[in-house]
Amino acid sequence: MLSEKILEVSNLEKRFHIKNSSLFGPKKYVHAVDDVSFDLYEGETLGIVGESGSGKSTLARTVLNLTKPSGGKIIYRGKDISKVSRREQKEVSSSMQMIFQDPYASLNPKLKIGSALCEAIEVHGVVSSKKEARERTLALLDLVGLQSEAAERYPHEFSGGQRQRIGIARALAIQPQVLFCDESVSALDVSVQAQILNLFNELKEELKLTYVFIAHDLAVVRYISDRILVMYLGKIMEIATYSEIFSDKNHPYTESLRSAILEPTTEAKQERIILKGDLPSPISPPAGCRFCTRCFKAEAICFEEEPDFVQMSDTHAIRCHIAKVEGGSADE
């Protein structure tokens, strides 16, 4: 990959302390994000998938400095964000914005959309006058495919898809370079989902954005992502380009996520892999490989030793004893 690295995340950890019922027992923690390392390149879309509870939102919140990491390093454009000045910190946080699943929850119901957008624009000082803020508001509405009348309406007057367009406009008001979209289309109907995904693609071209696109469903991220990162119980199980994620050398967990995609075409008929049981507790994750208790390929070693993260190619890394052997090309 030739483009510049925007983010370098190394050995990132986020633990939440769990209140103990007994005063004297050992302290308990949820390991929501555990030893996560990845890079983000300018102009790419990195998809993050994994079932609910795998640590995707905590990872995004930690990278965006909305919650402090328990360990590890986050380098943004060559600078360690825990060591930059306050002013630089502000610049970093406005250049990376998050778009949530339900923008309605964060919109003031008593404020017209136009006023809400003007406020966001003014707070971030990207314009010099009220008139300019109003002009920019109308330009933003147009950019996300809404009519200018939308400025005079209240949040409850919009449908789910339109509200997500407003959420996107509000994030763009601050002129970010990187958008973290956390389950941003997950609550929408499939047809509306496709429209919003198209909008994301158009905006990426037009504004030269970089995306981190998070979803529990691989079907959602696959059309938009250049690379995909698969998380399970706080750890990265696999990271690869889109085509490598759909190859024949994958983590069994990735295989199970892939098999859950309903293919409309007959050629790609694949047996559905249904995982046994629920996600284990992140307070006491399984010994060995985290996925061993639900893995349909697990062997004795998987219950004993945690697999290393092994490079299968320049762009493909995997944490699995079995896939590593099957893949054959891995060097340790």
Residues that bind ligand ADP (CB under 6 A): 16, 30, 32, 50, 52-58, 282
Q: Based on CB atoms, which residue is closest to ligand ADP, 120 or 237?
A: 237
Q: Based on CB atoms, which residue is closest to ligand ADP, 140 or 220?
A: 220
Residue 265: contacted member of ligand ADP, Mg ion, none (CB under 5 to 8 Å, by partner type): none
Cα torsion 185, 190, 194, 197 to 10°: value is 10
Residue 16: contacted member of ligand ADP, Mg ion, none (CB under 5 to 8 Å, by partner type): ligand ADP
In Å, how far are 31, 37, 50, 264, 318 from 235, measured between CA atoms?
Answer: 9, 9, 10, 31, 11
Backbone angles phi, psi at 11, to 5 degrees: 50, 40
SS3 170: helix
Minimum Å distance from CB 327 to Mg ion? 30
- Alpha carbon distance 320, 77 (integer Å): 31
Q: Which residues bind Mg ion (CB under 5 A)?
A: 57
- Return the residue matching tokens 């993260």: 309
Minimum Å distance from CB 56 to Mg ion? 5
Q: Based on CB atoms, which residue is closest to ligand ADP, 53 or 72?
A: 53
Minimum Å distance from CB 99 to Mg ion? 13
- Alpha carbon distance 100, 207 (integer Å): 20
- Alpha carbon distance 142, 126 (integer Å): 18
User: Do residues 263 and 276 touch, judged by C-beta distance below 8 A?
Assistant: no
> Integer distance in angstroms from the first to the last C-alpha of the chain?
23
Backbone angles phi, psi at 115, to 5 degrees: -70, -40
Residue 53: contacted member of ligand ADP, Mg ion, none (CB under 5 to 8 Å, by partner type): ligand ADP
Helix axes 130-143, 160-172, angle to 10 degrees: 130
Minimum Å distance from CB 104 to ligand ADP? 19
Residue 136: contacted member of ligand ADP, Mg ion, none (CB under 5 to 8 Å, by partner type): none
Q: Based on CB atoms, which residue is closest to ligand ADP, 32 or 292?
A: 32
Minimum Å distance from CB 55 to ligand ADP? 4
Residue 155: contacted member of Mg ion, ligand ADP, none (CB under 5 to 8 Å, by partner type): none
Minimum Å distance from CB 94 to ligand ADP? 23
- Return the residue matching tokens 């360990």: 71
- The alpha helices in the chain, defined as continuous H runs, are 56-63, 86-95, 113-123, 130-143, 160-172, 190-207, 218-222, 242-245, 252-259, 300-304, 321-327
Minimum Å distance from CB 252 to ligand ADP? 19
Residue 41: contacted member of ligand ADP, Mg ion, none (CB under 5 to 8 Å, by partner type): none
Residue 137: contacted member of Mg ion, ligand ADP, none (CB under 5 to 8 Å, by partner type): none
Q: Based on CB atoms, which residue is closest to Mg ion, 231 or 295?
A: 231
Q: Based on CB atoms, which residue is closest to ligand ADP, 100 or 158?
A: 100
Q: Based on CB atoms, which residue is closest to Mg ion, 57 or 97?
A: 57
